[in-house]
A and B are shown apart, each in its own frame.
Chain A
């Protein structure tokens, strides 16, 4: 269930990060930055549970939740993040989630791009 997935989205430096997986090719970016590296506490970053498969709907829900926590500022952008896992390992999920992110994050944009190329 999407609602059981904790904090797929986290934000700092006014950028919204979306984690799609914990799997990485080689060592993760968090590991590579060194044992003393910490993401800011206010980012509310959390590793995904190992057995969870993130879906596009779950991403959408998590982004909504992240934006409702901090409504004061609109993020500059959305980054499919590789702090723990590599988002390109979940390319299909990313492709399906992107249009939803575009719609929700832009707050009132009138255009929704679908992967198939349709525009509404």
Chain B
């Protein structure tokens, strides 16, 4: 029976040493640690994980301490596009094909960062590297509809490239056009700012943002 530990790896060397001692004392052969390497340099690591850039060296030390002691470590990184929200919003606006090169550039940058993380993982002595897909929010979420197949980042890019990104692209699996229209009508009635009689400015602003999202979807 294998035992795994899924961690950020953002711990000092002392924790790695405790794990090594534990393995040696218990004579566990099948224990491994999976560490989120995030990226291959401190600034990207900070963006990808929300940690301080200084934590990057701590993660690397944590991994190398384990691997130097023959502790099996698997590293992974998430294909995290830094400006996914912006891209999705640009898609929603239905502006001309203007943003396709931008989307392509971001996609290439994500791939480059993951490749660099894979290289770093190998140099730290990890036995395996996994690249995990990033899941941006979908228009299902906006309309409160049941998800079909989750839209992965590469799929989103292909939609961006074909300039046909709309809820209609995603819904054929689970929702009919009538369901989409129904969800839109219900939500737009609920969220219309004119209905917010007596609400505070902040509440009206929130409603308006949500209403705009629903209208865009």
State the A residues within 8 Å of B (CB). Answer: 15, 17, 24-27, 29, 31-38, 76-83, 86-88, 91, 94-95, 98-99, 101-102, 105-106, 109, 113, 115, 117
Q: Which of B135-143, B189-197, B208-216 contacts the other chain?
A: B135-143
* CB-contact partner of A25 in B4, B8, B80, B134, under 8 A: B8
Name A82's closest neighbour in chain B (CB-CB).
B6
B22→A115 contact, CB < 8 A: yes
Can you offer 20 A-B residue contacts whose CB atoms are under 8 A? A25-B10, A26-B10, A29-B6, A32-B80, A33-B134, A35-B135, A36-B135, A36-B150, A78-B2, A79-B3, A81-B6, A83-B6, A86-B7, A87-B5, A87-B6, A91-B18, A101-B3, A102-B1, A106-B1, A115-B26
B2→A76 contact, CB < 8 A: yes
Closest Cβ of chain A: how far from B43's Cβ, in Å?
14
Would A38 and B15 be within 8 Å (CB), given that A88-B7, A115-B26, A117-B26 are in contact? no
Interface residues on B, range: 35 or more
B150→A38 contact, CB < 8 A: yes
Q: Which of B47-55, B105-113, B123-131, B173-181 contacts the other chain?
A: B47-55
A37→B135 contact, CB < 8 A: yes
List, in ascending order, chain B residues with CB within 8 A of A117's CB: 25-26
List, in ascending order, chain B residues with CB within 8 A of A29's CB: 6, 8, 36
Give residues 1-58 of B contacting A (CB, 8 Å): 1-8, 10-11, 15, 18, 22, 25-28, 30, 34, 36, 48-51, 55
Would A79 and B4 be within 8 Å (CB), given that A32-B78, A34-B136, A37-B135 are in contact? yes
B4→A80 contact, CB < 8 A: yes
Would A80 and B5 be within 8 Å (CB), given that A32-B36, A36-B141, A115-B22 are in contact? yes
Q: Measured between alpha carbons, how far is A76 from B4 in the docked complex, in Å?
A: 11
Q: Measured between alpha carbons, how far is A118 from B81 in the docked complex, in Å?
A: 49
Q: Measured between alpha carbons, how far is A17 from B7 in the docked complex, in Å?
A: 13
B8→A24 contact, CB < 8 A: yes
Give residues 131-188 of B contacting A (CB, 8 Å): 132, 134-138, 141, 147, 150-151, 153
Q: Check: B67 CB closer than 8 A to any chain A CB.
A: no
List, in ascending order, chain B residues with CB within 8 A of A115's CB: 22, 25-26
Closest Cβ of chain B: how far from A46's Cβ, in Å?
17
Q: Measured between alpha carbons, how far is A96 from B12 in the docked complex, in Å?
A: 21
List, in ascending order, chain B residues with CB within 8 A of A105's CB: 1
Beyond A77-B4, A88-B11, 15 extra complex contacts between A and B, CB < 8 Å = A17-B6, A26-B49, A27-B50, A31-B50, A32-B80, A34-B137, A38-B135, A78-B1, A86-B7, A88-B5, A91-B15, A94-B5, A101-B3, A102-B3, A113-B28
A88→B15 contact, CB < 8 A: yes
List, in ascending order, chain A residues with CB within 8 A of B50's CB: 26-27, 31-32
* CB-contact partner of A34 in B26, B27, B135, under 8 A: B135
Name B25's closest neighbour in chain A (CB-CB).
A117
Encode B73-89 as 1/0 by CB contact (under 8 A) with A: 00000101000100000
Central interface residue in B8, B28, B134, B153, by most chain A CB within 10 Å: B8
Name A34's closest neighbour in chain B (CB-CB).
B135
